[in-house]
Copies of this chain bind each other. A is one copy, B any other.
Amino acid sequence: MSKYSFTFLILTIVLFSQCSTSTPDPATFNQPLTFEQAEYAIVIHGGAGTILKKNMTDDKEQQYMKALNDALDIGERILKNGGSSMDAVEQTIQSMENSPLFNAGKGAVFTNAGTNELDASFMEGKNLNAGAVGGVSTIKNPITAARAVMEKSDHVFLSGRGAETFAQDQSIEIVDPTYFYTQRRWDFLQQIKAEDANEQDITPDKKHGTVGCVALDKNGNLAAGTSTGGMTNKRWNRIGDSPIIGAGTYANNATCGVSCTGHGEYFIRYAVAHDISAMMEYKGVTVEEAGDFVINNKLVKAKGTGGAICLDRYGNVAMPFNTEGMYRGYAKPNKREVSIYKE
């Protein structure tokens, strides 16, 4: 080998080694065991809480089951046709936001002032890009605004009037605040106010509700999103976990995607969505083990009620919750499950 060939070889090795370390890979040192790879997968929730069969009419139950199946249909069609997990998450959540059944979008609950303040967040597992909006009152589909913050701004989290101005600039559909009026949620606000005034003991999870979706596409990319109307009778422009990356939503191709629902304050304090991802990353446990430990051990000890949907890059689904029920479902090739109550 001549002196020049040797120099060239060394240079090539040096350059190649620099290339291989310059690719950002947020978390690769502790991978779970290899599982069978699902071609695609999608998982959704429509809120967790005191959801008991004895309090549900057959008609209501069917409405929820249909809305959950419709939402899964939308996302699954996109994934089956080779679409991105981001499109699947956005459009699946849009369909749940447009339903009056769930506490998000059209069905958002009312604040103490009788207004609606909506929150949403969105995250891409490939590069940890993220976007969120908090306290918006005129954006028809907050999840779309959250995705736009991620893709069209230098920021992650925009709030209030500023977020609405940004959404309008992006030609995202703006509605009159009265769009979010539903009689059922209005009546519920009056009931909660009366109970609060009488200092009655209200099950905290009665006030909450959220929708969320995590998807894995044929390119192996995860995405996650969460959208909510927040907490009935909330005051002081309270922000819950749903628009907070790490609390209500997280996605990392190296670990999993997560969307949470429940008593938001606990999900913020325990950074639940990121904690599930971090436990997989640093302990090398499975998505089922991580989800179960955080929701059914840590949160239960803290008395934090709620649940999460989790999906790893192999398409393994976990839907842990520590409440009576959680509206939930998932779809993979030739497999679908939709359920409401604890089995």
Contact = CB atoms under 8 A, between A and B. Distances in A.
A157 B239 contact: yes
A237 B154 CA distance: 13
Nearest to A121: B268
Q: Which of the four size classes fits the interface of chain A?
A: 35 or more
B154 A265 contact: yes
Contact of A239 (B159, B234, B302): B159
A305 to B, nearest CB: 14
Interface in A227-269: 234-240, 244-247, 250, 264-265, 268-269
A134 B265 contact: no
A82 interface: no
Contacts of A246: 244, 246-247, 268, 271, 274
Contact of A26 (B134, B166, B237, B270): B270
A275 interface: yes
B302 A128 contact: yes
Contact of A236 (B135, B153, B235): B153
Q: Which of A24, A155, A161, A165 has the most CB of B within 10 A?
A: A155
A163 B26 contact: no
A283 interface: yes
Count copies of this chain in the complex: 2
A282 interface: yes
A301 B154 CA distance: 18
Given A26-B302, A247-B245, A301-B24, A162 B269 contact: no
A157 B278 contact: no
Interface string A268-296: 11110011001101110000000000000
- The 4 A-B pairs at the shortest CB distance, nearest first, are namely A162-B237, A162-B236, A282-B282, A278-B278
Given A156-B264, A156-B269, A278-B279, 8 more contacts: A123-B269, A128-B270, A135-B159, A157-B268, A163-B236, A163-B237, A245-B269, A282-B283
Interface of A: 22, 24-26, 123, 128-130, 134-135, 153-163, 165-166, 234-240, 244-247, 250, 264-265, 268-271, 274-275, 278-279, 281-283, 298, 301-302
